[in-house]
Amino acid sequence: MANQKSPQTIMEWFEYGRQCFHKPDGLEAVKAFEHVVDLDPGYRHPDGDNPYFYLGKINEVENRLSDAIIHFTRALAVDSEDEESLIGRGSCYTVTKQHEQAIADFTKVLQMPAQQRKVPRNNLLYAIAENYRQMKDWGQAVHWAQKALNADPDNFRHQELLKMVTEKTNK
């Protein structure tokens, strides 16, 4: 931040944190977002973003998944419809083998109106199918993998998942 004036307002601190996040300068971003949270734990930027999402994302990238889940959960306490935090937390739940929670998060995003949702429907269907596959719930995995493939018939990854889980049901 040399040659720049120090952030003064909560919005300036938030913007500074976002700038550092995109540089990337994770340490400075964390400091800025934690300062925002210290000033107002329920702060939401006018565009809807909140510091907990960014703190969650930084922790996810750094493979501190338990901390990432905590921050994404805090973001969702500020805005229960925060799609990016639901996706982030669902992804962390998948990696940490908390599949039922992951499925719940991905399902909540799937239930959002299509015009409001950023993540394509087929990706959510695939994520749900993949969690069922990891749980070895082959019936549900086939069901959701088929839905994913129906939503994007040319997607090789979806074709392979359906093939894999279908073979498991035939054993």
Instruction: Look at the chain and report how many structural domains it folds into.
Output: 2
Same domain, 138 and 86: no
Helices (H), 23-120: 26-39, 51-61, 65-78, 83-95, 99-110
**Same domain, yes or no: 42 and 125:** no
Q: Does residue 92 share a domain with residue 27?
A: yes
Domain with residue 34: its CATH number is 1.25.40.10
**What's the burial of 73, exposed, middle or buried (CB within 10 Å: 0-12/13-18/19+)?**
middle
Print pLDDT tens along the chain (171 aa): 444 678 999 999 999 999 999 998 889 999 999 999 999 999 999 998 999 999 999 999 999 999 999 999 999 999 999 999 999 999 999 999 999 999 999 999 999 999 999 999 999 999 999 999 999 999 999 999 999 999 999 999 999 999 999 998 887
- pTM, full prediction: 0.91
Domain-embedded: residue 111: no
Other CB atoms within 10 Å distance of the CB of residue 10: 17
Residues 97 and 139 in one domain: no
Establish if 112 belongs to a structural domain. no
